[in-house]
Amino acid sequence: MAETAVSATIQVALQAVVSLATDHVNLVREFPTELKKLNDSAEMIRGFLAGADEEMHSHDPKLVGVQKWLKQLEEEVFKADNVLDELNYENLRRKVKYQNQLTKKKVFFCFSFFNKIGFRWRLGSMIREINKNLLRIHRDAEGLGLAYKHQTDSTIDRRDVLGRDKDESEIVKKLLAESESDRISVISITGPPGLGKTTLAKAVFNTPQFDNHFNKKIWVCVAEEVDKIEKLFKMILESSTGKKAEVDNRQVIVQGIENELKEKRYLLVLDDLWNDQEGLLNDFFTTLAALKQKKGSWCLVTSRLQEAAIVLSRHRRINFTRHDLRKLYDDDCWSIVKDWATVEEEVPKELEALRKRVLRRCDGLPLAATLIGGLLSKKRKEEWLSIFEESLLNGDQGGIEQILKVSFDYLSPAPVKKCFAYCSIFDQDTVLEQDLLVELWMAEGFLQPDSQNERMMEKIGCEYFRILLQTSLLEEVKDEWGTSYKMHDLVHDFAKSILNHNSSNQHRYLAVYSSERETINEKSSASLRTLFLKGGIADDMLSKFKYLHVLKLFGADVEELPNSIGKLIHLHLLDISGSRIRTLPESLCKLYSLQTLRIGKLEEGFPKEMSNLISSRHLHYHDYFTEHKIQMPSEEVIFGW
């Protein structure tokens, strides 16, 4: 699996290298032979990559050699991309300098180092060097005998709730039952991952009868193992008030929750609970039970951990009910497959003949049925049989992981695989926005215009986004505020496993929180392309991340953007909207390759030389205090909505 991801990574980077070289019209005119060699080399490498993918699925003893070849190729292609990106930056710098001189009515035809002739010479020289290295790797592939081949929130869509009518009815009936007990009642929905626990909880939570029965409904997606109970209480307070809780003191947080729930009958959902430590759970529910809530209040917990239900059943201060979720019946699984595959009433004979084996692969799991249906939706019916026979039904390996692997393998074109894996840089259960994802993919070079330049990168990104939706690798979430997107936790785990596949731990994409800052070291800084960092960063440290394409700084303690930001010449996207940075340094205006800037409130306005950001495509300015919002260009114009 990792090697399939490597292959996609190399193909995307190769495409970026060729695109960068082709962008320079002078190079095409003055070095046509070298450019043709680069295109030919890239095409041959792509062919060998397809052969390498097949070798990785075999048990051939030359496997180690193929892995080494892939690693060398990946490093060489990224090196080439860095060099050409740097040259592109210098070209942009010269343009800015020339424009500024025109403005001042002064034109100097002699540039200090990167003059016109020197720049072209260096560019042509680097293309020749890249061709030389790719030719060597090409020969290595032949030596290996590689064949050349062509190549959660609470919103719910009722259509997603199949085969759960009985479960839903039983739970709703229990929650509506009158109770004279002063103790809080707790019901747990337990079962293995992919069984539809969250979907069932959403259906229950949105029961219309609850609107009059409960005075307050609170949905909390836990989705992680909580090490401090204060964190869980904070989640509840924020969900209840709809506001960010800036306090960490437990007494203050619990008091805030009590003010929200006092004398009210409430329904609290803790979705995807990952804790089963008896001490922590006892502490939490003892405190919750002590709040002055109205009789008939309930807490609904979903968890894949059987031990969590066992611990809750022993708690003396709560009335506990356990609801074990069974697997779906075959007919319901089959309905999901057909629904996602957009099959009409008449099921093709070829598919019907494989029904038993397909359902065996689904194993009663709604997620498995959804993924299989989503995979088929992107393929012609004539291809369905071969997909089942060669991939889904091949061998004894089963379960969600196998289905995810096949769905990933069939993603096309190759950049979609990179876009999919990149989504996992966000925390599990993060609400995702389409425009932000597309801008991130563009910044990382996953979106390259076609050869005729007929489609904007944003349009291509939206197409890739739709592919991920159609294959069920992303889920659509609709509520009164609009439409957003999420990844199922199992899909997220899978995507994360292939995002940073490099065995030497040189991560290219990293999200680091305050407690994990030691994971950033000298070695990792040289290879990083994306960094999401909670907390401030020193001037000298930031300048070490010289190949960053994406930088996101966030957190209440981030109040200053270091001057060294201007040294990140490869930076394409800067997001400081989740920080308290209120001024931008003038050095920001040296980021000639910057495509997207996301910022919050500014106290002193923009730097004077903002016009120097000649690659700029998107500006998001949101003052959360006044709700003043600027987006340039508008979403409708750039994304075609």
Q: What is the pLDDT of residues 519-567, one digit of tens each?
A: 666 556 778 899 999 888 888 888 888 899 999 999 888 999 999 999 9
Within a domain: residue 159? no
| pLDDT digits 0-9 by tens, 32-57 | 666 556 655 565 555 555 444 444 44
Question: Contacts for 30-34 with beta carbons within 8 Å, 24 or more apart?
Answer: 30/120, 30/124, 31/123, 31/124, 31/127, 34/124, 34/127, 34/128, 34/131
Burial (Cβ within 10 Å: 0-12, 13-18, ≥19) of residue 236: buried
- Residue 311 domain flag: yes
What are the pLDDT digits (tens) for 507-520? Answer: 788 888 765 666 66
Mark whether 627 and 511 lie in a shared domain.
yes
pLDDT of residue 549: 94
Residue 423 pLDDT > 90, yes or no? yes
- Domain final residue pick, 458, 489, 520: 489
Say yes or no to pLDDT of 330 above 50: yes
Could you tell me if residue 150 is inside a domain?
no
Encoding tokens for residue 167?
Answer: 């479960």
Question: Backbone dihedral region of 88: left (phi > 0), alpha (psi from -120 to 50 degrees) or beta?
Answer: alpha
Q: Are residues 295 and 364 in the same domain?
A: no
Q: Tell whether 542 is covered by a domain.
A: yes
Specify if 105 maps to a domain. yes
pLDDT of residue 639: 45
Higher pLDDT, 8 or 370: 370
DSSP state of 218: E
Query: Quick check: 308 and 276 in contact, CB under 8 A?
Result: yes
Query: Assign residue 101 a region: left if phi > 0, alpha if psi is -120 to 50, beta otherwise?
Result: alpha
**Same-domain status, 402 and 422:** no
- Work out the average pLDDT over 253-266: 85
**Number of helices (H), then strands (E), in the chain:** 25, 14
pLDDT, position 351: 65
- In whole angstroms, give the CA distance from residue 638 to residue 609: 25
Last residue of a domain, one of 324, 351, 385: 324
pLDDT in tens, 277-286: 778 788 888 8
**Same-domain check for residues 89 and 107:** yes
Residue 155 lies in a domain: no
Task: Note the pLDDT of residue 593.
Answer: 92
Average pLDDT over residues 432-436: 93
- Whether 248 and 342 map to the same domain: the answer is no
Between residues 105 and 618, the one the model is more confident about: 618
**Do 506 and 396 share a domain, yes or no?**
no
Listed in sequence order, the residues at least 6 apart from 528 whose beta carbon sits closer than 8 Å to its beta carbon are 507, 508, 509, 510, 545, 547, 548
Same domain, residue pair 257 and 345 = no
- Evaluate if residue 431 carries a pLDDT over 50: yes
Q: Is residue 152 part of a domain?
A: no
Asked if pLDDT for residue 585 goes beyond 90, the answer is yes
CATH number assigned to the domain comprising residue 611: 3.80.10.10
Average pLDDT over residues 296-305: 86
pLDDT of residue 586: 94
Angle of helix 63-103 versus helix 32-56 axis, rounded to 10: 140
For residue 473, is pLDDT > 80? Answer: yes
Cα distance between residue 511 and residue 430, in whole Å: 13
pLDDT exceeds cutoff 60 at 139 = yes
Res 338: pLDDT? 79
Residue 478 shares a structural domain with residue 579: no
Three-state DSSP at 319 gives: strand
627 vs 500 pLDDT, higher one: 500
255 has a pLDDT exceeding 80: yes
pLDDT at 85 over 50: yes
- In the Cβ-directed half-sphere of 32, how many Cα atoms lie within 13 Å? 1
CA 524 to chain centre: 21
Best mean pLDDT range from 173-177, 347-351, 495-499, 589-593: 589-593
In a domain, 148, yes or no: no
Same domain, 477 and 505: no
pLDDT at res. 594: 95
The more confidently predicted of residues 16 and 189 is 189
Lowest mean pLDDT among 64-68, 251-255, 525-529: 64-68
Which of these ranges, 64-68, 253-257, 603-607, has the smallest mean pLDDT?
64-68
Report phi then psi at 259, rounded to 5.
Answer: -60, -35
Both 88 and 109 in a single domain?
yes
Domain count, the chain: 5
Q: Which domain holds residue 342?
A: 330-409
Are 370 and 475 found together in one domain?
Answer: no
Question: Cα 154 from chain centroid?
Answer: 20
Is the pLDDT score of 65 beyond 90? no
pLDDT on residue 552: 95
Same domain, 104 and 204: no
- Residue ending a domain, choose from 309, 324, 339: 324
Q: What is the mean pLDDT of the chain?
A: 76
**Rounded distance between C-alpha atoms, residue 167 and residue 139, angstroms:** 61
Does pLDDT of 317 surpass 80?
no
Q: What is the CATH number of the domain that holds 424?
A: 1.10.10.10
Binning pLDDT at 50, 70 and 90, where does residue 641 land? very low
What pLDDT sits at residue 236? 85
> DSSP letters along 416-441, please?
HHHHHHHGGGSPTTPPB-HHHHHHHH
pLDDT recorded at residue 548? 93
Q: Is the pLDDT of residue 110 over 50?
A: no
Q: pLDDT tens digits, residue range 217-250?
A: 889 888 766 667 788 888 888 888 887 777 778 8
Q: What is the pLDDT of residue 290?
A: 80
Give the CATH number, domain containing residue 257.
3.40.50.300
Nearest Cα to Cα of residue 411 among 466, 450, 330, 364: 466
